[in-house]
């Protein structure tokens, strides 16, 4: 039982990180129909940028973190929207999705060739210790991840529902035409979701890299799990992406412990197929009308 | 006008095959190998071009299907003693069946769910290839894959095998050419351009979508069956998810929906890096950046760009004596 | 005369709003029924409910007496109901002839037969007859996307008739068509009805077009049937004049 709870907490921690990535993915999908196949690389890269700032420019860690995140948000929030999404979206959803695949290759190969192909240690915010609580050994790092991720998601939820800008953003996502008529600056709101997406990805990167090390190829698995989380959650809601992320994280952790380490990846994949078969609108999604 | 263009495709295919038959003269083993690899890749891209370019579906498992074909052929020819031709057919059939099994649940929901299901499938295939050592050899792969004997002629050397690849590629390309011009091809095109209207005309959207995907996947299986004896040693790495992305980029680069597009795309993806050796590992980045540039400037790819340039030249009244006739 | 289509109490709600609110009517063999009504009165939604693009919230749709409520558009088409859409929907990359062949091909033989059987046997001839009927001969091999708007509208309508349907639903066939073309279109539709015995339902805003084409007219307002009758009766109906024609 104690063992089970420990795996559960570890799963919630990685799940919280998948949730961050899945929420960003969902936001960007909602406002601009961008299926970002580079989402995993978005989580991989910030840690690499930070390490590069430390190793190549000799910045102190705290400054490197700030500089790395700022550079990432500028490049892959603002720049991504401006250089890739804006000129492409007029050609339709498909070319844009393919462009994000090309982007994922560029990011991955860029990290490998521009920095290193080796996995790198990444500084952790909290000591890598475990404490014993009621007979369960809990990693402080996992607890910290859950707390930070929950705070971030809580803040986002507060922003979206309680502030004027947040509500405008929501309106722009749900019905851009009506939002325009209401005088909402839709273009800025869409841009805002891209910035939020980049910020969430950067946060996820800082949280996950101390555990899994920073490596150019990390994006594949993270991206896959973020997609699964988004679909399981319903593809169209922050709430769903959060629940989907946690669920996928827990399932992954338990599968690794109790089923097979070499096939742990397969279990969430089976979940994905099961969801698509049984409840394709996702656990929290609304059924879509047969449309014209 | 459209009829003469389609015949252009046929003529180009046959003429191209004839040139490639003799092309490796003086190229040496490695040059010949690169040419063969180009064609094998083009076969996989052809299938994806049907799935994506003609039927408008995103499949992110083309490299995984190619892996299934390559491993099936390798296992059948090395361990089961099956001849290459039977292995080739079985590889294609396996991928066709896997395509049907995957596509059925995914396409029930929405076309873009196919992307996620194939993404998952891609990872699953890779896991199996890596973990099932007893069957696939794990990361050590399978070596000493024999090359086929065709009508009593051994194709162990680079040149005869290359010619064999040319012949098989030509046949596969001709079959696809025939398919696209058939009523099925018309239905595939209709469901890409306007599925709602197609359904209202009685086109069985799900059946055709599924078929396009399964046939496209079978082509990846055929490509795998050619790839295994070409490289003679296979391991899981060339069949990863990123390889599937790369094949998709080749479809787009060549010109999605154009019948000759796969050859151009594979040329850019496989042969050009050999000429641009000095760029080292950066070639993938360069290629991906080219594709993004193409997508922004001309989503119809290189062939679309050429077609656009060609019409621009023809429309200019100064050039040539033919009157500028607007068909519209 | 047999009843081809029976619509019984069809309702369609979007959220709390009833776009179609209990509509009933019948279509008899060989007639041309016009449906008119102000924008947003639920005409197109009604079509979509009949043809399975949308599932009706309540009510029944019967074709030749058989319940076909909720069948999907493909099945409806194979049962002999075809349609056009409000917005132009031809396949721009295919030629005029290929558009028509496509509209007919799924109604013959099996899928495998279509692939391996004799190529488009009879279909090409049928397509050419349709091309002749709609007077598009000079454009038979032209890309559909290159035709003028009015010509595309003609092709769109021709495609709906291609498979020899039991019933055709035309959604604003005259919308955006210029005056000369309009006469052509009306004449062709009338001929289709008179010579080929086609039965159809037409949604249209152009009042002259409807009144001179249709044998019966149904007026919708706010999702309900306001009146049904011959063009002359509708013109004289005070409720209709008040709700619609008066504006």
Q: What is the ipTM of this complex?
A: 0.86
What pLDDT is stored for residue B214 in this prediction?
96
A289 interfacial to chain C (CB closer than 8 Å): yes
Kindly tell me if the per-residue pLDDT of A164 is higher than 60.
yes
Closest residue in chain B to residue A225, using alpha carbons only: B120
What pLDDT is stored for residue C63 in this prediction?
93
Tokens of C48: 């979509």
What pLDDT is stored for residue B231 in this prediction?
94
Residue A194 lies in a domain: yes
| CA angle (A159, A196, A8) in 5-degree steps | 85
Identify the burial level of A183 via C-beta atoms within 10 angstroms of its C-beta, where 0-12 means exposed, 13-18 middle and 19 or more buried: exposed
**Cβ-contact B34, B230 below 8 angstroms:** no
What pLDDT is stored for residue B328 in this prediction?
29
Residue A10 lies in a domain: no
Which candidate from C73, C83, C115 shows the least CB-CB separation from B183?
C115
Q: E strands of B104-255, at which residues?
A: 149-150, 153-154
Residue A254 lies in a domain: no
Residue A191 lies in a domain: yes
Kindly tell me if the per-residue pLDDT of C243 is higher than 80.
no
Tokens of A147: 């707390």
Q: How far off is chain C from B246, nearest CA to CA, in Å?
A: 28
Residue A223 lies in a domain: no
Q: What's the per-residue H, E or C state across C104-117?
A: HHCCCCCHHHHHHC
What pLDDT is stored for residue A104 in this prediction?
94
What pLDDT is stored for residue B323 in this prediction?
36
Residue A6 lies in a domain: no
Question: To which H or E segment does residue A132 belong?
Answer: strand A130-133
Better-scored residue on pLDDT, C179 or B215 = B215
Which site among C47, C48, C74, C95 would you substitute to test the B interface, given the most B Cβ atoms closer than 10 Å to its Cβ? C74
Question: Is B249 within 8 Å of A105 when comparing Cβ atoms?
Answer: yes
Identify the burial level of B262 via C-beta atoms within 10 angstroms of its C-beta, where 0-12 means exposed, 13-18 middle and 19 or more buried: buried
What pLDDT is stored for residue B30 in this prediction?
87
For the beta carbon of residue A59, count every other beta carbon within 10 angstroms: 17
The whole model's pTM is what?
Answer: 0.88
Rounded to the nearest 10°, the torsion over CA C74, C78, C83, C87 is 30
- What's A126's DSSP letter? S
Touching subunits for chain B (3+ Cβ pairs under 8 A) = A, C
Closest residue in chain C to residue B188, using alpha carbons only: C102
> Which CATH fold would you assign to the domain C3-245?
Rossmann fold (3.40.50)
Average pLDDT value for residue range C129-140: 90
Range with lowest mean pLDDT among A79-88, A134-143, A166-175, A247-256: A134-143
Q: Coil, strand, or helix at residue C54?
A: coil
- CA separation for the pair B241, A166 (Å, rounded): 36
Angstrom CA distances, B185 to B54, B175, B191, B253, C5, stand at: 8, 12, 10, 22, 34
Which candidate from B3, B182, B200 shows the least CB-CB separation from C115?
B182
Q: What is the pLDDT of residues C60-105, one digit of tens each?
A: 999 999 999 988 888 888 888 999 988 878 999 899 999 999 998 8
With b for 16 or more beta-carbon neighbours within 10 A and e for fewer, the A91-110 pattern comes to bebbbbbbbbbbbbbbbbbb
Q: What is the pLDDT of residues C226-235, one digit of tens each?
A: 899 999 998 8
Partner residues linked to C217 by β-bridges: C34, C229
* Contacts B207 to C, Cβ<8 Å: 111
For the beta carbon of residue B36, count every other beta carbon within 10 angstroms: 25
B187 interfacial to chain C (CB closer than 8 Å): yes
Ranges of each domain in chain C: 3-245
**Cβ-contact C93, C145 below 8 angstroms:** yes
Closest residue in chain A to residue C86, using alpha carbons only: A292
What pLDDT is stored for residue B276 in this prediction?
76
Residues of A with CB under 8 A from a CB of B: 35, 37, 84, 87-88, 91-99, 101-106, 108-110, 112-113, 220, 224, 227-228, 231, 262-263, 265-266, 269, 272-273, 276-277, 280, 292
B2 interfacial to chain C (CB closer than 8 Å): yes
What pLDDT is stored for residue A31 in this prediction?
86
- CA separation for the pair A17, A38 (Å, rounded): 16
**Cβ-contact C97, C141 below 8 angstroms:** yes
User: Number of folded domains in chain A?
Assistant: 1
- pLDDT tens digit at each of 328 positions of chain B: 344 445 788 889 999 999 989 887 777 888 899 999 999 999 999 999 999 988 888 899 999 999 999 999 999 999 888 999 999 999 999 999 999 998 887 777 666 778 888 988 999 999 999 998 998 988 899 999 999 988 888 888 888 999 999 999 999 999 999 999 899 999 998 988 888 899 889 898 889 989 999 999 999 999 999 999 999 999 999 999 889 999 999 999 999 889 999 999 999 999 888 877 776 778 888 889 999 999 888 888 889 888 888 888 876 544 333 333 333 2
Which candidate from B199, B200, B327 shows the least CB-CB separation from C142?
B327
pLDDT band at A43 (very low <50, low <70, confident <90, very high): very high
Question: Is B109 within 8 Å of A276 when comparing Cβ atoms?
Answer: yes
* Contacts B205 to C, Cβ<8 Å: 74
Tokens of B282: 């950066």
- What's A182's DSSP letter? T
Q: Give the structural domain span for A187.
A: 23-218
Tokens of C180: 């000369």
Residue at token pair 């992954």: A252
Q: How far off is chain C from B231, nearest CA to CA, in Å?
A: 35
- Cα within 13 Å of Cα(C219), Cβ side: 24
Identify the burial level of C72 via C-beta atoms within 10 angstroms of its C-beta, where 0-12 means exposed, 13-18 middle and 19 or more buried: middle
**Cβ-contact A228, A244 below 8 angstroms:** yes
- What's A84's DSSP letter? I
What pLDDT is stored for residue A83 in this prediction?
92
List the one residue out of A112, A145, A155, A95 whose CA is nearest residue A253. Answer: A145
Closest residue in chain C to residue A288, using alpha carbons only: C54
A292 interfacial to chain C (CB closer than 8 Å): yes
Q: E strands of chain C, at which residues?
A: 3-14, 17-28, 32-36, 58-63, 66-67, 81-83, 167-171, 200-203, 216-221, 224-229
Instruction: Give chain C's mean pLDDT.
Output: 88
- CA separation for the pair C56, C9 (Å, rounded): 10
Question: To which H or E segment does residue A137 belong?
Answer: strand A136-139
What proportion of chain C, given as a percentage, has pLDDT over 70? Answer: 97
A183 interfacial to chain C (CB closer than 8 Å): no
pLDDT band at C245 (very low <50, low <70, confident <90, very high): low
Q: How many residues does chain B have?
A: 328
pLDDT band at A291 (very low <50, low <70, confident <90, very high): very low
């Amino acid at each position: 039982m104690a063992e089970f709870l420990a795996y559960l907490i570890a799963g919630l921690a990685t799940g919280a990180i998948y949730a961050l990535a899945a929420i960003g993915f969902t936001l960007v999908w909602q406002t601009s129909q961008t299926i970002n196949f580079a989402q995993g690389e978005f989580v991989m890269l910030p840690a690499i940028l930070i390490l590069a700032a430390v190793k190549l420019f000799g910045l102190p860690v705290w400054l490197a973190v700030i500089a790395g995140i700022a550079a990432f948000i500028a490049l892959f929030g603002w720049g991504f929207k401006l250089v890739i999404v804006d000129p492409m979206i007029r050609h339709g959803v498909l070319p844009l999705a393919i462009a994000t695949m090309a982007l994922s290759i560029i990011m991955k190969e860029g990290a490998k060739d521009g920095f290193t192909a080796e996995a790198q240690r990444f500084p952790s915010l909290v000591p890598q210790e475990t404490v014993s609580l009621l007979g369960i050994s809990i990693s402080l790092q996992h607890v910290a991840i859950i707390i930070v991720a929950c705070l971030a998601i809580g803040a986002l939820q507060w922003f979206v529902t309680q502030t004027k800008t947040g509500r405008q953003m929501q309106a722009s996502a749900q019905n851009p035409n009506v939002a325009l008529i209401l005088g909402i600056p839709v273009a800025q709101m869409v841009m805002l979701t891209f910035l939020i997406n980049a910020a969430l990805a950067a946060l996820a990167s800082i949280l996950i890299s101390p555990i899994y090390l920073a490596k150019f190829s990390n994006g594949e698995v993270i991206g896959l799990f973020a997609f699964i989380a988004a679909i399981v959650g319903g593809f169209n809601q922050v709430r769903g992406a959060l629940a989907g992320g946690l669920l996928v994280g827990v399932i992954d952790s338990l599968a690794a412990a109790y089923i097979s380490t070499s096939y742990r990846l397969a279990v969430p994949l089976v979940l994905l197929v099961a969801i698509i078969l049984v409840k394709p609108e996702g656990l929290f999604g609304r059924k879509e009308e047969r449309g014209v | 006008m459209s009829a003469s263009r389609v015949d252009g495709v046929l003529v180009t295919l046959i003429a191209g095959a004839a040139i490639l038959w003799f092309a490796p003269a003086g190229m040496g083993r490695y040059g010949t190998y690169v040419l063969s690899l180009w064609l094998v890749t083009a076969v996989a891209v052809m299938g994806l071009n049907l799935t994506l370019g003609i039927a408008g579906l995103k499949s992110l498992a083309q490299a995984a299907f190619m892996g299934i074909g390559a491993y099936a052929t390798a296992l059948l020819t090395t361990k089961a003693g099956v001849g290459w031709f039977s292995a080739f057919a079985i590889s294609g059939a396996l991928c066709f069946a896997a395509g049907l099994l995957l596509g059925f649940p995914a396409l029930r929901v929405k076309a873009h769910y196919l992307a996620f299901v194939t993404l998952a499938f891609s990872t699953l295939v890779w896991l199996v290839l890596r973990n099932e050592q007893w069957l696939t050899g794990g990361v050590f792969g399978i070596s000493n894959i024999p090359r086929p004997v065709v009508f009593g002629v051994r194709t162990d050397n680079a040149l005869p095998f290359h010619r064999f690849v040319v012949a098989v590629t030509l046949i596969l390309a001709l079959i696809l050419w025939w398919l696209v011009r058939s009523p099925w091809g018309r239905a595939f095109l209709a469901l890409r351009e306007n599925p709602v209207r197609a359904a209202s005309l009685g086109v069985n959207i799900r059946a055709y979508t599924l078929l396009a995907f399964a046939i496209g996947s079978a082509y990846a299986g055929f490509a795998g069956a050619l790839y295994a004896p070409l490289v003679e040693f296979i391991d899981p790495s060339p069949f990863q998810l990123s390889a599937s992305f790369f094949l998709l980029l080749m479809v787009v680069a060549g010109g999605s929906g154009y019948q000759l597009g796969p050859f151009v795309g594979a040329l850019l993806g496989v042969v050009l890096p050999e000429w641009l050796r000095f760029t080292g590992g950066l070639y993938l980045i360069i290629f991906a950046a080219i594709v993004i540039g193409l997508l922004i400037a001309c989503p119809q790819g290189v062939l679309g760009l050429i077609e656009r340039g060609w019409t621009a030249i023809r429309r200019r009244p100064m050039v040539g004596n033919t009157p500028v006739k607007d068909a519209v | 005369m047999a009843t081809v289509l029976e619509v019984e109490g069809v309702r369609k709600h979007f959220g709390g709003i009833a776009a179609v609110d209990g509509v009933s009517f019948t279509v008899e063999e060989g007639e041309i029924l016009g449906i008119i009504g102000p924008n947003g009165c639920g005409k197109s939604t009604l079509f979509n409910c009949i043809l399975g693009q949308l599932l009706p919230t309540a009510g029944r749709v019967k074709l030749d007496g058989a319940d076909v409520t909720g069948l999907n558009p493909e099945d409806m088409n194979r049962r002999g109901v075809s349609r056009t859409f409000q917005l132009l929907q031809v396949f721009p990359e295919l030629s005029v002839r290929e558009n028509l062949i496509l509209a007919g091909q799924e109604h013959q033989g099996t899928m495998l037969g279509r692939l391996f059987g004799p190529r488009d046997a009879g279909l090409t001839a049928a397509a050419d007859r349709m091309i002749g009927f709609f007077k598009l001969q000079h454009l038979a091999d032209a890309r559909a996307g290159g035709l003028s708007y009015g010509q595309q509208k003609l092709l769109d309508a021709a495609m709906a008739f291609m498979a020899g349907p039991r019933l055709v639903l035309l959604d604003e066939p005259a919308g955006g068509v210029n005056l000369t073309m309009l006469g052509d279109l009306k004449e062709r539709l009338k001929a289709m009805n008179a010579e080929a015995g086609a039965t159809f339902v037409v949604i249209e805003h152009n009042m002259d077009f409807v009144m001179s084409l249709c044998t019966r007219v149904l007026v919708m307002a706010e999702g309900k049937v306001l009146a049904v009758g011959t063009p002359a009766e509708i013109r004289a109906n005070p409720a209709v004049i008040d709700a619609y024609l008066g504006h």
